[in-house]
């Protein structure tokens, strides 16, 4: 945020690596926590909260993919499939064993991490676009398996309906309740990622991303850390999958197909590779952009089209605008929205005395 | 820097205008809101781009002819691109607009909205897809499949084969070729049960998505299995490929019946036109073709307004399904208004209105549905139309079949949900 850094001197590495870069940052974080936990659920209506909830789920998934793609430099287009692993694991635990969310959510994440480990094995030998194809294969294989193994996919049409999560015996049904439920996991995911990337493991990830041979020479076991990255990333994806199923009330194979993986890839790239704030921005951007363009087109489109034409053109126009805006933002700032935010911040840092 | 701020400002202002305009339209008296969700982009756009305009056309037609005494229908549409999260967003938005009824599109979307519909008491219609078990209105009170489910379609296809093969299936061979996804596999338990009951030999042939190449399955069917009849449950581009392949292998198309998503004009055209597909049987849950009074009235309505006809009207199969869905909904609203004596109906009234739809046929476009509180499928009616000349000709009347076997599967499906 817009803090003055004058007079703050860091004299140790520990101080430089601290979660709060400045003493005042603690208060900013507290203020944000108050805003998101107390004010937002009261101030917004049900519709606005449902939009926020969709963003929150995407944030968890995007953070996971950013650990793999942004921090470790391993590309994956299997994010949707890892989410489905988490979703179906949790759905089966809920429906057959009646387990509560505080078991099903970690269980879904762990199962996804296990599958992610398997998918990550080829990453030692193959890189870049070849790895992308290997993860694409994983996406298709997982989807096929879920569709054809009936003890996984359970119900009719490979979909399992699951009840709302309940806390102390009360199901969380209101949008505001679900918002707080999701927010809890989003905060865990953000704090977890923040701490991960400043730990030994996180530094190893970054070393592998920047130059894997150099990383190996300074003693990082590349294979092990690449597998860690796949496992942790899939763990996040699995949790995002479980959260999405809880929110939608269903685990269905069609909500985790290839286009979802591509959407997550877009979130991470637009938001900014290797940036936690970027994952949050990217998730919000990709989730809300289609909706906001529709509001604008519904409002302004009446000037250009008749009503029947409006219904017919808006969806297509929206795709065009969505694509163009992505290109626009990437051209303006190839390092993503996070970098854009940093530029804004550094502009105001010396304001109004910038030279 | 300033450029960025300006962009952000422009976006905010635009969004605010959009919201303001949308908000003011809903706040008027004597209106009933039907919240249309639709997919004009995405994998099933070939259906959506025809079906959704048809729904709007029927609502306009209903408004112009005052079908709802003293009320007009407001029918805002939100496009979802066949994705689940946008469908949930669209639902919340339509709910905010005051919708008491919603045509839904897509099976996963139906699953995701089911619980919300029940909680908010909004009636959802899902003709031709959705949850097969939702035929049971006791378990799914606010979900109305109204058209024949895949279970009912499978049963009806077996009945049609039986009639075509001289009234008995004992010792006959039937091939079931299907798109290898959950929707494609759904009718299999019904057909298997019937194979045991009727004594025919059943073999299933899976076509993996995207279903462009099915030459191996076709050779298996036509050269090795030699079935007496083929039931084809394919989607997308594969029905057209199957028609071509049957033709190429010399198998008579009059011994093939395609279930409801393998049976539109688009499929016939993609297979090479009416000439190629002569004899092919298509299953319909709404009448195909142009020969219905309601279509003539809508054409007249367009003519009166001096507008050209909508492009999708030629694809009569999908267009008529849109009319079917909208007409049932308007009829339910009309029943609901009778119940409330003209007071604004609630979702519960609309549900009751829906459950009183008996013998509403719209000049033959709609089957003789008997929707009750227990049976939201209305009996699972279908009709077979055969390709003859340059169009679809009815080969049977409206019929349904093996209801006991179908309901057994509905109950079994409920257990696994």
pLDDT tens digits for B92-120? 999 998 999 999 988 888 888 888 899 99
Contact between A252 and B417 using a beta-carbon 8 Å cutoff: no
Nearest to A156 among B56, B83, B133 (CB): B133
Q: Read off φ and ψ for residue B229, nearest 5 degrees.
A: -155, 150
Would you call A323 an interface residue with chain B, using a CB distance cutoff of 8 Å?
A: no
Of B230 and A11, more confident: B230
Q: Using alpha carbons, list the distances in angstroms from residue B117 to A120, B141, B142, B377.
A: 41, 9, 6, 17
Cα–Cα distance, B174 to B223 (Å, whole number): 14
Considering only residues 68 to 97 of chain B, which have any Cβ-Cβ distance to chain A shorter than 8 Å?
77-79, 81-86, 88-89, 92-93, 95-96
Q: Which residue, A281, A292, A260, A263, is CA-closest to A335?
A: A281
Indicate if the pLDDT at residue A157 is higher than 80. Answer: no
Would you call A344 an interface residue with chain B, using a CB distance cutoff of 8 Å?
A: yes
**What secondary structure letter does DSSP report for B309?**
P
Considering only residues 296 to 325 of chain B, which have any Cβ-Cβ distance to chain A shorter than 8 Å?
310
Contact between A255 and B85 using a beta-carbon 8 Å cutoff: yes
Q: Which residue, B190, B253, B198, is CA-closest to B221?
A: B253
Indicate if the pLDDT at residue A313 is higher than 70. Answer: yes
Q: Which residues contact B350 (CB under 8 A, 6 or more apart)?
A: B100, B101, B123, B332, B333, B336
pLDDT, mean of residues A307-324: 78
State the residue for tokens 């529709």: A294
Kindly give the parts of chain B with pLDDT less than 50: 1-2, 5, 9, 13-14, 16-28
State the residue for tokens 């049904």: A173
Would you call A315 an interface residue with chain B, using a CB distance cutoff of 8 Å?
A: yes
Of A174 and B59, more confident: B59
Strands (E), B104-142: 123-125
Residue A194 parent element (H or E): helix A175-197
What's the confidence (pLDDT) of residue A128? 83
Would you call B414 an interface residue with chain A, using a CB distance cutoff of 8 Å?
A: no
3-state SS class at B102: strand
Q: Which range is least confidently modeled, A53-62, A338-347, B217-226?
A: A338-347
Would you call A352 an interface residue with chain B, using a CB distance cutoff of 8 Å?
A: no
pLDDT over 70, % of chain A: 96
Cα–Cα distance, A251 to A248 (Å, whole number): 8
Q: Which residue, A253, A130, A282, A268, is CA-closest to B112?
A: A253
What's the confidence (pLDDT) of residue A156? 66
3-state SS class at A211: coil
Indicate the pairing of strand A250-252 with strand A166-167. unpaired
3-state SS class at A143: helix
Q: Looking at the complex, report in whole angstroms how far the Cα of residue A70 sits from the nearest Cα belonging to chain B.
A: 25
Under 8 Å between Cβ of B89 and A54:
yes
Residue B98: burial class (beta carbons within 10 Å; 0-12, 13-18, 19+): middle
Under 8 Å between Cβ of B149 and B386:
no
What's the confidence (pLDDT) of residue B143? 93
Task: Please report the ipTM that was assigned to this predicted complex.
Answer: 0.83
What's the confidence (pLDDT) of residue B19? 46
pLDDT, mean of residues A304-312: 70
Cα–Cα distance, B158 to B168 (Å, whole number): 11
Residues of A in contact with B61 (CB under 8 A): none
Considering only residues 114 to 173 of chain A, which have any Cβ-Cβ distance to chain B shorter than 8 Å?
147, 153-161, 164, 173
A175 to chain B: closest CA residue: B92
Under 8 Å between Cβ of A37 and A247:
no
Contact between B86 and A290 using a beta-carbon 8 Å cutoff: yes
Indicate if the pLDDT at residue A77 is higher than 70. Answer: yes
Q: Which of A129-133, A351-355, B322-326 has the highest mean pLDDT?
A: B322-326
What's the confidence (pLDDT) of residue A32? 87
Nearest to B96 among A47, A164, A292 (CB): A47
What's the confidence (pLDDT) of residue B25? 43
Residues of B in contact with A308 (CB under 8 A): 53, 56, 310
Mutate to test the interface with B, among A140, A152, A157 (most CBs of B within 10 A): A157
Under 8 Å between Cβ of A240 and A86:
yes
Cα–Cα distance, A232 to A109 (Å, whole number): 9
């Amino acid at each position: 945020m817009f803090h003055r850094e004058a007079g703050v001197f860091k004299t140790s590495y520990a101080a430089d690596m601290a979660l709060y870069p400045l003493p005042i940052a603690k208060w900013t974080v507290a203020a944000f926590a108050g805003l998101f936990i107390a004010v937002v659920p009261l101030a917004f209506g049900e519709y606005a909260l449902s939009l926020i909830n969709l963003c929150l789920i995407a944030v968890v998934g995007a953070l996971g993919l950013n650990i793999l793609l942004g921090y470790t430099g391993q590309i994956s287009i299997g994010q949707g499939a890892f989410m489905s692993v988490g979703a179906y694991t949790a759905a089966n635990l809920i429906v057959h064993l009646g387990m509560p969310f505080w078991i099903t959510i970690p269980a879904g994440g762990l199962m996804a991490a296990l599958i992610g480990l398997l998918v990550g094995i080829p990453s030692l030998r193959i890189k870049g676009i070849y790895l992308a194809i290997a993860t694409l294969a994983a996406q298709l294989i997982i989807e096929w398996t879920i569709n054809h193994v009936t003890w996984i996919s359970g119900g009719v049409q490979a979909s399992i309906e699951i009840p709302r999560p309940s806390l102390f015996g009360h199901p969380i049904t209101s949008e505001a309740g679900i918002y707080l439920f999701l927010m809890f996991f989003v905060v865990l995911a953000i704090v977890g990622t923040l701490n991960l990337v400043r730990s030994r493991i996180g530094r190893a990830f970054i070393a592998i991303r920047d130059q894997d041979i150099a990383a190996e020479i300074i003693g990082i076991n590349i294979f092990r850390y690449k597998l860690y990255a796949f496992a942790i990333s899939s763990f996040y994806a699995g949790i995002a999958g479980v959260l999405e199923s809880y929110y939608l009330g269903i685990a269905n194979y069609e909500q985790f197909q290839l286009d979802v993986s591509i959407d997550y890839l877009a979130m991470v790239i637009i938001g900014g590779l290797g940036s936690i704030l970027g994952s949050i921005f990217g998730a919000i951007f990709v989730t809300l952009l289609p909706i906001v363009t529709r509001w604008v087109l519904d409002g302004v489109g009446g000037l250009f089209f008749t009503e029947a034409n409006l219904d017919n053109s808006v969806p297509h126009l929206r795709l065009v605008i969505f694509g163009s805006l992505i290109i626009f933002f990437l051209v303006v700032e190839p390092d993503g929205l996070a970098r854009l935010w940093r530029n804004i911040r550094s502009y105001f840092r010396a304001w109004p005395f910038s030279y | 820097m300033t450029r960025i701020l300006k962009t952000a400002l422009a976006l905010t202002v635009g969004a605010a205008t959009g919201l303001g305009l949308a908000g003011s339209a809903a706040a008027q008296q004597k209106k009933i809101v039907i919240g249309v969700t639709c997919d004009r982009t995405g994998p099933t756009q070939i259906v959506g781009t025809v079906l959704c305009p048809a729904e709007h056309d029927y609502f306009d037609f209903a408004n112009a002819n005052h079908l709802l005494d003293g009320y007009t229908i407001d029918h805002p549409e939100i496009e979802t691109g066949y994705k689940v999260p946008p469908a949930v967003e669209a639902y919340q938005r339509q709910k905010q607009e005051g919708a008491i009824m919603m045509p839904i599109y897509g099976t996963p979307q139906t699953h995701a909205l089911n619980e919300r519909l029940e909680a908010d008491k909004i009636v959802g219609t899902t003709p031709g897809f959705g949850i097969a078990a939702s035929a049971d209105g006791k378990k799914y009170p606010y979900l109305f499949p109204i058209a024949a489910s895949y279970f009912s379609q499978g049963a009806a296809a077996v009945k049609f084969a039986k009639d075509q093969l001289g009234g008995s299936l004992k010792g006959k061979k039937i091939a079931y070729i299907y798109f290898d996804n959950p929707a494609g596999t759904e009718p299999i338990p019904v057909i298997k049960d019937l194979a045991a009951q009727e004594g025919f030999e059943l073999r299933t042939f899976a076509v993996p998505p995207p279903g462009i190449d099915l030459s191996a399955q076709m050779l298996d069917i036509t050269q090795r299995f030699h079935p007496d009849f083929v039931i084809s449950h394919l989607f997308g581009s594969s029905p057209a490929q199957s028609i071509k392949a049957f033709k190429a292998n010399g198998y008579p198309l009059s011994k093939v019946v395609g279930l409801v998503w393998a049976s539109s004009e688009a499929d016939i055209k993609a297979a090479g036109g009416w000439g190629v597909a002569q004899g092919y049987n298509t299953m319909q849950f709404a009448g195909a073709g142009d020969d219905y009074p309601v279509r003539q009235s809508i054409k007249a309505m367009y003519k009166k307004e001096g507008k050209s006809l909508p492009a999708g009207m030629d694809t009569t199969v999908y267009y008529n399904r849109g009319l079917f869905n909208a007409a049932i909904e308007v009829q339910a609203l009309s029943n609901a208004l009778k119940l409330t004596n003209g007071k604004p109906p609630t979702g519960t009234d609309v549900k009751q209105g829906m459950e009183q739809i008996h013998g509403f046929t719209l000049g033959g476009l709609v089957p003789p549905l008997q929707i009750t509180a227990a049976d939201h499928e209305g009996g699972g009616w279908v009709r077979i139309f055969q390709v003859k000349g340059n169009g679809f000709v009815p080969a049977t009347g409206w019929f349904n079949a093996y209801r006991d076997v179908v309901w057994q599967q509905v109950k079994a499906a409920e257990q696994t949900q």
